[in-house]
Structures are given as C-alpha cells and as structure tokens.
Amino acid sequence: MNFLYNQATDALLGIAIGDALGVPVEFVGRGILKKEPIHNMTGFGTHHQPPGTWSDDSSLTFCLAENLCEGYDIGKLCQKFIAWYHHDYWTATGITFDVGEATGSSIDRLTQDISPLNSGATGEFQNGNGSLMRILPLAFLLKNQPYSTHFPLVKEISSITHAHFRSVFSCFIYIEIIIQLLQGKSKKNALAEGLGEVLEYEPSNSYEEQEILLFKDILNGMIDRRPEKEIYSSGYVIHALEASLWCWLNSSSYKEAVLKAVNLGGDTDTTAAITGGLAALSYGLSDIPESWITTLKRSNDIITLGTQLNSKYNM
C-alpha cells in the first residue's frame, strides 16, 4: 500500500498507532510485560477491543485537528468534545471507552453551559494526562505564530479539561519540542531548542518555584539519563511527559520508541500515543510495519484529516 505522507499525517498516524498498540494492555504491570512484551499490534485484552482500535487519546486529538482545519474556535472545539463523549464522534469503532475522570467531568460541565474557560479541573490532584495526550495538533497552528501567543493558547486548550498549571506547563513543554521537530530539527536540537524556548518564557511569568522544580529533570535536558526503574508510566501528567520523552530519546526508530512506551506498562495507550507523536515526526512512518497501518481502524480517515491539516498550515 502506498501512502503520501506529510508531517501532519505522520503525527496523527503516529499518535493513533501508539494508542492502538497500548489499548489491549492498559493497566498491565511492567513486570508482566517484561516477561511477555508486546511486539506487534494485538487486540482485545483490557478493553475487549479488536486490533487497531484507538482510544480517547486519538479521538480528542482528531477533534482538535479537525477544528484547526476549520479555523480554531474554542466553542466549536468543545462541541466536538461533547459529540465524542456523548455521541461517539471520532471514535475508532463507534464506541467511546476509557474516558478519564477529569475529562468526562469537564465535558459534562460544558453541556451545562459552563464556559470552557472555567470547565477544566483545577485541583493539584487532578493533573492527569488528558490534555497532554491531545494537544499535538496545536503545534501546526503555533509554529508560524508569534512566540508570545504560544503559552496562552496552550493554556486555553488544555484548560478545557485540565486547568492546573502542572498540566498546562506539561503541554507547553511538549508543544515547544514538537514545533522544533516541525522545523526539521534533530532530536537533540529539538529538545535543546524547545526547552530553551520554554525557559525563556518562564522567568517573565513568575511561576511558583515549587511547581517548576517538579520539571527539573526535563528542563535540564537530562531525562534520558534516568534509569528505567525511575521512569513511571502512570496517568499523572508529569510521569506521562517524562516517560514519553525518555522513550523517544532512548530509541532509534518509531517502532522501537512506541514499543518501549507500551512495554513500560501502566497507562500504556497514552504513553505510547504521546511518544508516537514525537517519534513519528523524528523518524517518519517509513519503518512502521505496513500491517500496523492497515490494521489501524479508520486509517484512511486519519490520512485524509492529516492531509487537510498539513494543507491548512503549510501554505
């Protein structure tokens, strides 16, 4: 099968394939996966879904990508989120499953006509990875926008469901690295220059020092040197960002990166989806088994959406 790839298609397929690889073993422990690692696209397992089925990570990513294709509008984006949650919009097989508590509660608030500026979870213990997993398409809009607009727009979109600083800042770090990859930078340079942009923005905004300290191993560019036993692949947003960066930086191909993410165990689909976005833009999808793409549910729809997003922001 021949595909005409571009950066947006690479990224969207990269996210969805990582997600689908992780869905069958979500919540499976690392010890079990050490003994029986995932090597290929499987199915059923945790959520009883057929092979190639992606979850909320990809669904909400596609909602954002589609909204950006139409011209960013937060109100219309929220309507897409509601349509996904309540009417199975942009799902892999017509079924919405595996919805995070903060995401579901926030979308329910949107249905009660609460503003998206006030709908997201704000508590310290509500820092799941539900906004980080879906934020990547925003980089296509921001890459040609003034730098001063980046953090406010990241905050706006993250805060629909996750409004605490920790979640927003995790999204900001990820987006700035993705933007560097969209500019063709190597992994090493994308990480260094993306973090440089984040650090340039941070001092002017007087963030709480204790919050910034939580990101020290990421911001100092040393997360790849942390031993695997100290990489936690839970649903906590900082763990998700650390694990995804670690897998990406300690791999030499897309396949290696996403399988490494899945086999960390825990929140496998989200870790692999976030990793998949980074890895697809670093390595392209040429080394992915063709069977993974053909097994992926709605792959043609994803390719069409990626082509539209690429056309919209690469003129």
> pLDDT tens, 206-242?
678 899 999 999 999 999 999 999 999 999 999 999 9
Per-residue confidence (pLDDT) for residue 70, from 0 to 100: 98
Q: Domain for residue 19, yes or no? A: no
Q: Assess whether pLDDT exceeds 90 at residue 263.
A: yes
**Measured at the alpha carbon of residue 211, what is the angle toward residues 191 and 170, in degrees to the nearest 5?**
40
Q: Assess whether pLDDT exceeds 60 at residue 274.
A: yes
pLDDT band at 315 (very low <50, low <70, confident <90, very high): low
Distances (CA, A) of 276 to 28, 251, 304: 19, 12, 19
For residue 298, the enclosing domain spans: 25-313
Distances (CA, A) of 114 to 62, 99, 167: 23, 20, 20
Mean pLDDT of 3-17: 89
High-pLDDT (> 90) share of the chain, %? 92
Contacts of 140 (CB under 8 A, 6+ apart): 7, 8, 68, 182, 309, 310, 312, 313, 314
Per-residue confidence (pLDDT) for residue 2, from 0 to 100: 47
**What is the Cα–Cα distance from 295 to 50, expressed in whole angstroms?**
10
Q: Is the pTM of this model over 0.85?
A: yes
Question: In this structure, which long-range contacts are made by residues 240-243, counting pairs with CB atoms below 8 Å and at least 24 apart in sequence?
Answer: 240/129, 240/132, 240/133, 240/170, 240/267, 240/270, 240/271, 240/274, 241/129, 241/132, 241/170, 241/173, 241/174, 241/274, 242/217, 242/218, 243/271, 243/275
Residue type at 141 in one-letter notation: L
SS3 state at 166:
helix
Q: Domain for residue 287, yes or no? A: yes
Q: What are phi and psi of 121, to 5 degrees?
A: -70, 135
Per-residue confidence (pLDDT) for residue 79, from 0 to 100: 98
**What is the Cα–Cα distance from 280 to 194, expressed in whole angstroms?**
17
**What is the Cα–Cα distance from 261 to 244, expressed in whole angstroms?**
7
pLDDT band at 3 (very low <50, low <70, confident <90, very high): low
Q: Domain for residue 141, yes or no? A: yes
Q: Domain for residue 8, yes or no? A: no
High-pLDDT (> 70) share of the chain, %? 97
| Residue 6: exposure state from Cβ atoms within 10 A (0-12, 13-18, ≥19) | middle
Q: Domain for residue 112, yes or no? A: yes
Query: Mind listing the pLDDT tens digit for each residue in 131-158?
Result: 999 999 999 999 999 999 999 999 999 9
pLDDT band at 314 (very low <50, low <70, confident <90, very high): confident
Cβ distance 251 to 279 under 8 Å?
yes
Per-residue confidence (pLDDT) for residue 204, from 0 to 100: 65
Q: Assess whether pLDDT exceeds 50 at residue 164.
A: yes
**What is the Cα–Cα distance from 302 to 308, expressed in whole angstroms?**
10
Phi-psi region of 68 (alpha: psi -120 to 50; beta: other; left: phi over 0): alpha
Per-residue confidence (pLDDT) for residue 25, from 0 to 100: 98
Mean pLDDT of 168-192: 97
**Measured at the alpha carbon of residue 101, what is the angle toward residues 100 and 106, in degrees to the nearest 5?**
100
**What is the Cα–Cα distance from 87 to 126, expressed in whole angstroms?**
25
Mean pLDDT of 186-199: 96
Q: Assess whether pLDDT exceeds 60 at residue 1.
A: no
> How many domains does one find in the chain?
1
Q: Domain for residue 2, yes or no? A: no
Q: Domain for residue 3, yes or no? A: no
Residue 301 has, within 13 A of its CA and on its CB side, a CA count of 15
Per-residue confidence (pLDDT) for residue 208, from 0 to 100: 80
Distances (CA, A) of 31 to 25, 251, 259: 12, 21, 15
Residue 198's nearest CA partner among 150, 243, 162 is 150
Length of the chain: 315
Mean pLDDT of 276-281: 97
Query: Mind listing the pLDDT tens digit for each residue in 17-67?
Result: 999 999 999 999 999 999 999 999 999 999 999 999 999 999 999 999 999
Residue 61 belongs to domain with CATH number: 1.10.4080.10
Q: Which residue has tokens 């629909």?
A: 160
